[in-house]
A and B are shown apart, each in its own frame.
Chain A
Amino acid sequence: MSIYADLRVLVVDDMLTMRKIIGQQLKTLGATNILEANDGTTAWEVLERESTVKPIQFIISDWNMPQMKGIDLLKKCRAHPVYKDVAFLMVTAEAEVTQVKEAVGAGVDNYVVKPFTPAAFEEKMKAVYTKRFGAK
């Protein structure tokens, strides 16, 4: 069974196309419990709503979105007592050194630069999973 099978994953991207691409790749990796949000504000609402049912464990977020950006969602999570340890993978077209440093400084677990191959995505997913949930 896939290590991602029971994982609650929230995919945050303002572009439906990218949410579909990531969703397809997650399903290929064995994930079955995938939720979506189209910006940081909606993602936060999903986080709060789902925390009373079964909390989101893994966020895959774009950076550059209207409303709340991915970097602000990350900072808000890390500053919150309940969501501070949520696994956070940034998948973004923002590839400048200063931005990667900013995300690392804000506590991102890993960073995927678009465009990416399925293999690169899988590698980063596994790195984040291992860091947050231990090797399986």
Chain B
Amino acid sequence: MSLFEVSDPQDGPVVITCPPLIDAKATDEFVKLIQPWMKKSEKLYILDFARVTHLDSSFFRPLVLFYQHLKNRSSFLCSINITGPLALIIKSNGMENALSIKSSKEEAMETAGIKTPAKAKFDVKFINPFITATKATFEMQANTPIRIGKPFLKKEDDKVAIDIAGVISLTSPAFHGSIALCFPAKVFLAIYSNMLGEKHETITREIEDAAGEMLNIIFGQAKAELNDKAGYQIQKAIPTIVRGNQLEVHHLVRNIAVVLPFETDAGSFHLEVSTEAS
């Protein structure tokens, strides 16, 4: 079994996870490992030093040869997870350039000009204004106390079936995306009744715009907070309503959304926020 673990190039750059002990034996193995790559190179090789506790300077010779070879072919060699003592060894051997130390795999990919896939990362400071606005909107405008559940990521295959949703686009110079306020029919009808004192058995055209209006208010509140305090420059938008049995919301930009679940006495509903850098 190899001391070095190598990722499948089909999954992106070649990531070589180094063994804890890089001694003469490991160096020999590294020389054999890079032989095929000296003939046919991938765009980027990343050496991951996360497990390394000992680094013998004999390792640097084949490394420099490999680096030169890649450089001549416009390919890249980068290193990640290089900590204090390791960094000192590398520096004292003058190997900073050859190893091209990066803080992450994404940074290494950026160096090689490889587009990184959008991260399923949601900033709490970005999401919190939507939670605050949703709570204020339902409690103040719809006389419906709500409790926030644990936010989660909805991926492409996840099915969260609903009956009605208000959808609005998110556009700013930094990102674009969409928000959807989604209800099962029973919950929507109960909230509508709390809001206007009208009882309805089914969702009709006459009452469906409440989903859009609630979303419009949430959007307006969150937008003001994000624009005034964080300078996002989110643009105005008008909501649209989608309705149907066992509806599923698919965000056009990137079908991953953070789902903010809310609980009412009549059941749960949720807000989906999906964004991607412009």
**Cβ of B123: which chain A residues have Cβ within 8 Å of it?**
none
Q: Report B-chain residues with C-beta under 8 Å of the C-beta of A14.
A: 238
Interface SS majority for chain A: loop
A18: B residues at CB distance < 8 A: 213
- Chain B, interface SS category: helix
Task: Provide the bound-state CA to CA distance between A88 and B223, in Å.
Answer: 24
> Do A21 and B216 touch across chains, with their CB atoms under 8 A apart?
no
Shortest Cβ distance from A93 into B: residue: B220
Cβ of A85 within 8 Å of any chain B Cβ, yes or no, is no
CB distance from A33 to the nearest CB of B (A): 21
Q: A20 contacts which chain B residues (CB < 8 A)?
A: 196
The minimal Cβ–Cβ distance linking B131 to chain A, given in whole angstroms, is 14
* Chain A residues at the B interface, C-beta cutoff of 8 Å: 14-18, 20-21, 24, 64-66, 92-97, 113-117
Question: Which chain A positions have C-beta within 8 A of B217?
Answer: 93, 114-115
| Distance to closest chain A CB from B110 (angstroms) | 34
Which residue of A24, A66, A93, A96 contacts B216 across the interface (Cβ within 8 Å)? Answer: A93
Complex CA–CA separation, A17 to B142 (angstroms)? 11
Q: Does B104 contact A (CB under 8 A)?
A: no
- Inter-chain CA distance A20–B198, complex, in Å, is 11
How many Å lie between the Cα of A94 and that of B236 in the bound state?
Answer: 8
Give A96 to B232 CA distance when docked, in angstroms.
Answer: 12
- Give complex CA distance A15, B141 in Å: 14
